[in-house]
Structure 1
Amino acid sequence: MHMSKFLSVISAAIDFFVELDIYVSPFHILVDIFSDAINRLVCLTETTVASGDDDGYIKVWDTRQRSCCNTFHRHEDYISDMTYVAGSNQILATSGDGTLSVNNLRGNRVKSQSEFSEDELLSVVVMKNGQKVVCGTPSGALLLYSWGHFKDCSDRFLGHAQSVDNLLKLDEETLISAAADGVIRLVGILPNQIIQPLAEHSEFPIEALGFSHDRKYLGSISHDKMIKLWDMEELLGGPQLNHQNDMPEANAAVHHDELPEANAAIHHDELPEANAAAGHHDELPAANAAVVNHNQPAEADSDDDGMDVDMEPSSSNVSRSKKKGKGKKLDGFAPDFFADL
């Protein structure tokens, strides 16, 4: 599903896609001639839409003529994500075959394609004023490509423990990531760092992220059959989560019951000898030294901002186990999801 800036919602199904006009009509079918499941939709202009399907095809559709006007087929596996670069009139696409492609709409040709990476590429955004392209992978690594040098990634950021299924650009320096652990995070790019967790969508993988037209709200869709809307002002105001897995040292210092020695040093009634010698904490330096400073944050890992140079990618895709049918896997989920709305 894609919310276009032209006040319409475009949704895809296994064999057709429809456009829902918010203000005029309930819905109408635009195209119903697909043979492969649609994985991604991108609104290009008011009258053109691009689709990426299960067989690796990228097709551009004229909604007025209800016909295909451009076709690109360079990928060997499903199209996992796409983004439109209006300035150069190009579509960047990632695929399950582990490659990134640059498709020129003006010349109707594939301008560039990356080498096969070790992972599938699941998501893509353009950052740093068009100078960097960031892709998410199943291993949790973010691959950074320099514009014009798409053969191999220039940097690799290891900051997510699980698959990065969706990326959403917030500004030129930061993006929002959605991982398979159900957590939505704010991520900085160059320097690479996970700034803070923003929200969570239960424990289910997040299928899609999107802004409202005024960018005041963030929408997320997960396997829990719920659409959640988040107030961006509240999310960016501070961390909204307190995960024990993310902050083990800080959480350990919060609970007094787990610190018997520190607790024993705090209570005067349990220290008869200390009370007899002195009645104030100031005269008990050893006891004071055992008291935990709850306001002191856990020490951050100094390697969070580091970037590792990517290893030489494999020149062939023989050993890759394809996951074709990614779009079709969601078919069982989609009817139940919309039936519950």
Structure 2
Amino acid sequence: MPHLLSTGDDEGVVKLWDPRKPDAIRSYTQHFDFISDFLWLQDKKQLVATSGDGTLSVMDVRSTKTEPFAQSEDQEDELLSVLAIKGGTKVVVGTQLGILSIFNREKGWGDCVDRVPGHPHSIDALCALPSSYPSAHSTILTGSSDGLVRVVELLPTRLVGVVADHGGFPIERIAVDRGGQGRWVGSVGHDEVLRMTDLKDVFEDEEPGAEGKGGDDRDSSDEEEKGGDEEEDADGKEDALGQQLAGLKRAKSEDEGGDDEDGKESVVNEKDDSDAEDSDAPKPQKKKRKKEKDALSGKAKKGKNEVEADSSFFSGL
């Protein structure tokens, strides 16, 4: 609202103010402990307040009633910070125990629908990422009492990393420049220092790592493909080498057989040995033959019967 602001005090009183008037326009007293944070819902013109009494309340500023539009049940923990995510459909609340409580506006404000643990200390401040980042609708910045500003992705939950460190001093507030659309995030804490962090540098440092990881995967896949090609080339070379060896063996066999066709047939086909033995012509000695065969010695096959001829029988004739 252009001429409306709100305040919350240590007694749990919420007041609406118009700077043009000296007194508060309206006061709400539904809380009995300190008011820790506010969230403005533009679509419904509603103001959400979190309190140390463990509850949050929703006030419709257009109504003249001093009672809240809705109030949650006791969450049994101090509620310290509040932020809208998922286009305003869900609300995240930081607690004293380091748990992020998620409320679904469609299901009402009675109780949270999910709890996300993980922070070792209280979550005192919450801030949204600029919409220029792809995951801005579900990624938030959290400021904890341990002095660390973290980037947390919700639904699904994942700790992206640490953005800033205040040296162990609790963080009170986090804000992004240019109405939440800039690249710089400022955080203040008990160390009395305003720390400015370039979000673009932080996320660009992570993106190249992811790309590098992907590049490693691509390199490994290329190496695998290259290795596969090398294996195929090796297989092809082995096949070619085998063929060459087979050709050399055949050529060697032909060379060793000489010009004698009977000798060649004896090397290539052992079944034709009987035909070679029937020949009376003298046969030259072959390199690979163990001994010279006598045409009248050995076994002569005639069908299934075998006749043994002794050479000494013919020597006396």
Partner of 2:184: 217
Report if aligned partners of 1:142, 1:157 keep a CA contact under 8 Å in 2. Answer: yes
- Answering whether residue 8 of structure 2 is matched by residue 49 of structure 1, we say no
Shift of 1:120: 0.6
Alignment of structure 1 residues 307-326 onto 2, 5 Å? none
Q: Identify the match of residue 205 of structure 2 among 229, 238, 247.
A: 238
Following superposition, which runs of at least 4 residues in structure 1 exceed 2 angstroms of deviation?
235-239
| Secondary structure in structure 1 of the residue aligned to 2:96 | coil
Q: Residues 122-156 of structure 1: CA distance to partner in whole angstroms, max 9, x if unpaired?
A: 00011112221110111111001111421111100
In 2, Cα distance between the equivalents of 1:118 and 1:194? 25
Shift of 1:231: 1.5
In 2, Cα distance between the equivalents of 1:236 and 1:107? 43
In 2, Cα distance between the equivalents of 1:172 and 1:74? 31
Partner of 2:253: none
Larger RCO (CA under 8 A, 6+ residues apart): 1
Q: Which has the higher helix share?
A: 2
Report if aligned partners of 1:137, 1:163 keep a CA contact under 8 Å in 2. Answer: yes
Shift of 1:46: 3.1
Partner of 1:206: 171
Partner of 1:226: 193
- Answering whether residue 144 of structure 2 is matched by residue 179 of structure 1, we say yes
Partner of 1:118: 76
Counterpart residue identity of residue 103, structure 1: M
Report if aligned partners of 2:123, 2:144 keep a CA contact under 8 Å in 1. Answer: yes
Shift of 1:56: 0.8
Partner of 1:88: 44
In 2, Cα distance between the equivalents of 1:112 and 1:181? 33
In 2, Cα distance between the equivalents of 1:135 and 1:179? 13
Partner of 1:287: none
Report if aligned partners of 1:217, 1:231 keep a CA contact under 8 Å in 2. Answer: yes
Counterpart residue identity of residue 222, structure 1: G
In 1, Cα distance between the equivalents of 2:55 and 2:42? 21
| Secondary structure in structure 2 of the residue aligned to 1:238 | helix
- Answering whether residue 62 of structure 2 is matched by residue 106 of structure 1, we say yes
Shift of 1:216: 2.4
Alignment of structure 1 residues 2-81 onto 2, 5 Å? 45-81=1-37
In 2, Cα distance between the equivalents of 1:209 and 1:126? 15
Partner of 1:161: 120
Shift of 1:226: 0.9
> Root-mean-square deviation (CA), in Å?
1.4
Q: Which stretch of the first structure deviates more once superposed, 104-113 or 74-83?
A: 104-113
Counterpart residue identity of residue 227, structure 1: L
In 1, Cα distance between the equivalents of 2:63 and 2:159? 38
Counterpart residue identity of residue 185, structure 1: R
Shift of 1:177: 0.2
In 1, Cα distance between the equivalents of 2:184 and 2:74? 36
Report if aligned partners of 1:159, 1:193 keep a CA contact under 8 Å in 2. Answer: no
After superposition, the Cα gap between the structure-2 partners of 1:54 and 1:218, relative to the gap in structure 1 and judged at 3 Å, is same
- Structure 1: 5+ residue runs without aligned partners? 1-44, 240-341
Counterpart residue identity of residue 134, structure 1: V
**What TM-score, normalized to structure 2?**
0.59
Larger Rg: 2
Q: Which has the higher strand share?
A: 1
Partner of 2:89: 131
In 2, Cα distance between the equivalents of 1:66 and 1:84? 23
**What TM-score, normalized to structure 1?**
0.55
In 1, Cα distance between the equivalents of 2:70 and 2:158? 29
Report if aligned partners of 1:199, 1:235 keep a CA contact under 8 Å in 2. Answer: no
In 2, Cα distance between the equivalents of 1:48 and 1:107? 14
Partner of 1:189: 154
In 1, Cα distance between the equivalents of 2:59 and 2:157? 28
| Secondary structure in structure 1 of the residue aligned to 2:20 | coil
Give identity over the alignment, percent.
37
Q: Residues 165-204 of structure 1: CA distance to partner in whole angstroms, max 9, x if unpaired?
A: 1111223211100011111111112112222211211111
- When the two structures are aligned, how many residues end up with a matched partner? 195
